[in-house]
Amino acid sequence: MNKKELREYAASIGLNMLGVAPISRFDSVPQHKHPASILPEAKSVIVVGHSIPRGDYRGIEEGVLWHFAGKRVSHRFLIEITRYIERESGYEAVPLEAHNTNSAPKSKPVAEGRPKHNVIPNMEYAAVAAGLGEIGLCGLLLTPAFGPRNALGMVITELELEPDEIFKGKICDGVECGKCAKICPSQAINLKKTITVDICGRETVLAEINYNHCRMCPNGAAPDFNYKIGQEELMYDFAGNQPKIVETSTALTRSGLPNITTALCNRTCIAHLEDEGKLELKYANPFRTEVPWMLQNWER
């Protein structure tokens, strides 16, 4: 079985994105996020996905239907493609969806030098490593065809496949644009404080985000109960009996993020990328023609 056959099978079951990264592209990743900590014999990490329909955003954009789009591929798709790999190649494969986890605080590693459970690889990092696109300022994967309208899943396998090249294009306009931050009702995105992360030789600029404000957004962010990357991880620095919340900075340094797929910031990103003609997929009508609906209750 080769990558072309795998991609054709993925398309046949409704997955219109597939990229392959060799395990070596995760050399700089810590063990508790490393795919090989799940499957030590892994040779390839396959990231699959499907586009989120543009119409999924329409109701919340216009304030008539409160709806949240899932940012993760369902387990059914991952099981199907995992079975296909094992059946056709004879190599083991592990499906990995974002799921709720409860890591016991006193848990021990299974062996010396191994990480404690649970091991949760970062899906967006893996997608960049597999050549699918880039991570935008707010931490979501941007792809050339769909922008941020992507649902993702991962399969780790012993099968060695031809890797995809790292995406070399530029989609996010970063701080120079900053429209996502300017429209954020909770002012959670800090354009004045960014970090640059190297992902497989590709420089990625991420904004610092106050996720405790973000998760309370009244305009589209949601608790990601069904599609969570990891257990909620608020970090506390106790002073007496009063906890002080210590902010972590970006989507790559924190697990348990709120789902901002249909949030006002992400919808503004979609509108901007389409207006600028930066996406391969074109539509007959613009995504946004007037001021989007928003609940102006943050001050209260």
Contact 48, 77 (CB under 8 A): yes
pLDDT for residue 223: 60
- The SS3 call for residue 121 is coil
- Work out the average pLDDT over 94-99: 79
Q: Is the pLDDT of residue 224 over 70?
A: no
The DSSP code sequence of 194-251 is EEEEEETTEEEEEEEE-HHHHTT-SSS-B--SSS-SSS---EEEEETTEEEEE---ST
- Work out the average pLDDT over 56-65: 87
Percentage of the residues of the chain whose pLDDT score is greater than 90: 55
Residue 266: asked if its preceding bond is cis (omega within 30°), the reply is: no
List, in sequence order, the alpha helices (H) in the chain.
3-12, 58-62, 75-89, 123-129, 174-177, 179-183, 211-214, 264-275
Spans of all domains in the chain: 3-275
pLDDT for residue 32: 82
Lookup result for tokens 């590693």: 109
Name the more confident of 237 and 66: 66
Residue range 12-49, pLDDT digits in tens:
999 999 999 999 999 999 888 899 999 999 999 999 99
Q: Is the pLDDT of residue 145 over 50?
A: yes
Residue range 230-281, pLDDT digits in tens:
333 332 232 333 333 334 345 565 556 788 899 999 999 999 999 999 999 9
